[in-house]
Structure 1
Amino acid sequence: MAVLWALAAFLMTLIGGLVAMRVRDRRHLVLGLAGGLILGVVAFDLVPGSLDITSSTVLGVPSPMLAFAAGFLLLHIVEQAAAIHRAHEGEYAPHRHAHGRTGLLAASALVGHSFIDGLSIGLGFQSGAETGAFVALAVIAHDFADGFNTVTAASLGRSGRPALVMLLLDAVAPIFGALATLLVDVPEGVLGPYLGFFAGVLLYLAAAEILPEAHSQHPRVLTLCCTLAGVLAVMLIVGTAE
């Protein structure tokens, strides 16, 4: 099941990359919806689920919440060090000022991130079918932006071939990540903090990458409505499942 969801992530990544190659003015609506979906998954499923799985604490703080903060901060540090995210001067502007080498470094980092996404899908299903499905939906929701950013970064100062190669690598990475989890069973005591960690990573992606890019040059009510629709959709799905 995890591999099938990873195949969906593969397709979404390819779609995002193809959209980057054929720029359309409506992509901010898709990104706004994706940001809302991710926020909803973090708030209504991943964080509550991680707290239900484990009750361990560190200095009185639930270990999943410590992992949540660690995931958020780690991705922030990694992205700053790799110069993936500099400033939102325009839509997808963080990648326009880098040279070809920096662009490929950023694209390579996104490929590694996509492999972790595949691991997350597999580990999510190890903690339960419902949690696994929501983790997969969160991954799929932001894979559009991953594919878009991978092509944009890899295209800097180069021909289209490196961008296409990096896009394909980024697309297949979640599949290999999901396959890797078929070889390893993770104890429940580890799954709770891991889900918290992944929730922190997703929240950073939504808050620092996807939503600012969606609203950078399109501060329109319709974009905000798409974000709110994503949050409400996850809330209704979770409520119905319970």
Structure 2
Amino acid sequence: MALVLSVVAFLMTLTGGLVAMRVRDRRHLVLGLAGGLILGVVAFDLVPESLEASHASVLGVPAPMIGFAVGFLLLHVIEQAAAIHQAHESEYAPHDHPHAHAPGAGRAGILAACALVAHSYVDGLSIGLGFQSGTDTGIFVALAVIAHDFADGFNTFTAASLHRADRRPAVLLLIADSLAPIVGALTTLLVTVPEAVLGPYLGFFAGVLLYLAAAEILPEAHSRHPRTLTLCSTGAGVLAVLFIVGLAE
């Protein structure tokens, strides 16, 4: 049963990525929606889930929130090292950078997409471990995973294609993200993953995603297009995740 439901998760993830591919002419709306979906996933799913998965703390601070800060700062460091902001600074003020499209541009998006793949793998683990706890628990976990896998696929393709004309890396990462839940479910047939490890990882992943949304996706969405529709897209993304999480609960 776990493998069957992980295949459904595969299909939902793939569908989300295909939708992101087909609306390239409305890129600002896609990016606005992706930013809202990421914000919703971080606030309503990843952070609460990470705090539930791990009660460990360091100096009185929950370990998942330390992971959150590390993930946020890591992406910031990578962005500064690659000078990613030079790819779109000129859209806000009359700056002149001779290497505006440096080879490092888009690296943060690829990293975030890889984090999404890892998260989808953990989703598969969650399905398998849920069924190890009992059929009812497994079905509930699987439904929650399937409910947000559309957003995962959508965000994976959008993040991986950010600042990139070549869409092949984004397609490959979308395929990897779609297959990850199946691989995760298969893994639970062989090993048991300590929940203590999942909490800090989910916090780290949430920090990576929030930085991507705040520093890359939303500024890019608002750079050259009317902002009202883009803001509506962002709000719709947040509300959609809130509704999905509410149904899952």
Offset of 1:15 from its aligned partner?
5.2
Q: Which residue number corresponds to residue 159 of structure 1? A: none
Q: Which residue number corresponds to residue 191 of structure 1? A: 198
Instruction: Report if the CA contact (8 A) 2:64-2:202 is conserved.
Output: yes
Q: Which residue number corresponds to residue 247 of structure 2? A: 240
Q: Which residue number corresponds to residue 9 of structure 2? A: 5
Q: How many residues align?
A: 221
Rg bigger for which structure?
Answer: 2
Q: 5+ residue gaps in structure 2?
A: 127-140
Instruction: Report if the CA contact (8 A) 2:115-2:205 is conserved.
Output: no
Instruction: Report if the CA contact (8 A) 1:28-1:223 is conserved.
Output: yes
Instruction: Report if the CA contact (8 A) 1:5-1:121 is conserved.
Output: no
Instruction: Report if the CA contact (8 A) 1:17-1:167 is conserved.
Output: no
Q: Which residue number corresponds to residue 136 of structure 2? A: none
Q: Which residue number corresponds to residue 78 of structure 1? A: 78
Q: Which residue number corresponds to residue 91 of structure 2? A: 90
Offset of 1:76 from its aligned partner?
1.9
Offset of 1:170 from its aligned partner?
3.2
Paired AA for residue 80 in structure 2: Q
Deviations 1:198-221 (A, max 9, x none): 111111121111111111122522
Offset of 1:16 from its aligned partner?
4.2
Distance 1:130 1:71 in 2: 27
Instruction: Report if the CA contact (8 A) 2:13-2:151 is conserved.
Output: no
Distance 1:202 1:218 in 2: 23
Deviations 1:130-188 (A, max 9, x none): 55346634422423423532xx52x4xxxxxxx25434433333245445533354211
Q: Secondary structure at the match of 2:90?
A: coil
Moved more, 128-137 or 218-227: 128-137
Of all paired residues, the percent bearing the same amino acid is 50
Offset of 1:111 from its aligned partner?
4.8
Q: Secondary structure at the match of 1:97?
A: coil
Q: 5+ residue gaps in structure 1?
A: 156-162
Instruction: Report if the CA contact (8 A) 1:13-1:144 is conserved.
Output: yes
Offset of 1:52 from its aligned partner?
1.4
Q: Which residue number corresponds to residue 124 of structure 1? A: 123
Moved more, 213-222 or 194-203: 213-222
Distance 1:121 1:114 in 2: 11
Q: Which residue number corresponds to residue 166 of structure 1? A: 169
- From 141, 155, 159, the counterpart of 1:146: 159
- From 178, 195, 206, the counterpart of 2:213: 206
Paired AA for residue 148 in structure 1: S
Are residues 113 and 223 of structure 1, via their aligned partners in 2, closer, same or farther at CA, if it must alter by over 3 Å?
closer
Query: In angstroms, what is the RMSD of aligned CA positions?
Result: 3.2
Instruction: Report if the CA contact (8 A) 1:107-1:166 is conserved.
Output: no
Are residues 115 and 3 of structure 1, via their aligned partners in 2, closer, same or farther at CA, if it must alter by over 3 Å?
farther
Instruction: Report if the CA contact (8 A) 2:109-2:212 is conserved.
Output: no
Distance 1:46 1:74 in 2: 18
Q: Which residue number corresponds to residue 27 of structure 1? A: 27
Paired AA for residue 241 in structure 1: A
Moved more, 119-128 or 82-91: 82-91
Distance 2:90 2:57 in 1: 41
